Amino acid sequence: MPSLWVDADACPRVAREIIVRAAERTATPTWFVANHTVPLPRSRTVKSLAVSHGFDAADDEIIERLAAGDLVITSDLPLAMTAIERGARVMTTRGEALDANNIRARVQMRDFMETLRASGEHTGGPKGYSDADRREFANALDRWLAKQR
């Protein structure tokens, strides 16, 4: 069975709880990778991996350990692009599937927005994590897990 790899540095707590419940229910090997220890319940299938505090250390660890067919849960677009290139599936914590057909456009938009912010433009941040986001994510994760059985 493929593993779940969670970029836990920016994973909302409610999404983390959804992932833990789903991983336990399906006995899916799951790793939360972050620059700090992620509080998780005791589990045989869900583990936390704290990495050094270097820039992109958690991302690098995920890329090094993932296998083709694994699912990476992240909103980090450069991590998503590399994971896709290595054959992993990628989903955001809002349930959006990222793949070879949409990742380059997303990265280009991110770079454009970064350029605007650097020039002093106020672009605002991401919207808050809503109940609809939570439902979309839980449903998308359940669909992926069901396909793995």
The full set of domains in the chain, from first to last, is 4-148 (3.40.50)
Q: What's the CA gap between 25 and 114, in Å, rounded?
A: 39
Q: Which of 77, 44, 79 is nearest to 58 (CA)?
A: 79
Q: Helix, strand, coil proportions of the chain in percent (round to 5)?
A: 45, 15, 40
Q: What's the CA gap between 32 and 129, in Å, rounded?
A: 19
Q: What's the CA gap between 93 and 138, in Å, rounded?
A: 9
Residue 125 confidence (pLDDT): 64
Which tokens in the block code for residue 47? 């583990």
Q: Please report, rounded to a whole number, the percentage of residues in the chain having pLDDT higher than 70.
A: 95
Which tokens in the block code for residue 35? 């620059």
pTM for this predicted structure: 0.86
| Averaged pLDDT for residues 4-30 | 96
Residue 123 confidence (pLDDT): 66
pLDDT for 107-118, tens place per residue? 777 667 777 777
- The answer to whether 30 and 99 have CB atoms below 8 angstroms apart is no
